[in-house]
Amino acid sequence: MAELSPEDQKLVTLARATMARTGAPEGAAVRDLDGRTYAAGSVALEHLRLSALDVCVAMAVSSGSRGLEAAVRLGDAEPDLLAVHEFAGPDLVVHLGDVRGRIAD
């Protein structure tokens, strides 16, 4: 299991709490350049499907964020990182973990 900073561990906690609250199979949390955090679960409606990271990116962008400094994504399916890297840049490290919050090395 990867060793995370206390601030990044908070993102894991937020992503897990969101999954528990919503019953979503995927959760994510991000921290923007101003230190604000956004957490979300995946959305699966008949006419709208968004990954948890996509929802977090949309929340950050619509709140006026200029970029991201950290991201966590929990879930068992293969993650789609296109939107998060388009917004935050290709060098942003996205910590990936399972539904229990165990982050891979």
pLDDT in tens, 12-68: 999 999 999 999 999 999 999 999 999 999 999 999 999 999 999 999 999 999 999
In a domain, 89, yes or no: yes
In a domain, 42, yes or no: yes
In a domain, 38, yes or no: yes
Residues ≥6 apart with Cβ < 8 Å to 89: 67
d(CA 35, CA 75): 24
d(CA 93, CA 73): 11
In a domain, 1, yes or no: no
Residue 1 pLDDT > 90: no
How many domains is the chain partitioned into structurally?
1
The DSSP result for 8-31, as a single string, is: HHHHHHHHHHHHHHH--SEEEEEE
In a domain, 46, yes or no: yes
In a domain, 61, yes or no: yes
In a domain, 103, yes or no: no
DSSP code of 32?
E
In a domain, 69, yes or no: yes
Give the range of the structural domain holding residue 85, as residue numbers without chain letter: 6-97
pLDDT in tens, 62-75: 999 999 999 999 99
Which of 5, 7, 11, 6 lies closest to 101 in space, CA to CA?
A: 11
Domain containing residue 35: CATH number? 3.40.140.10
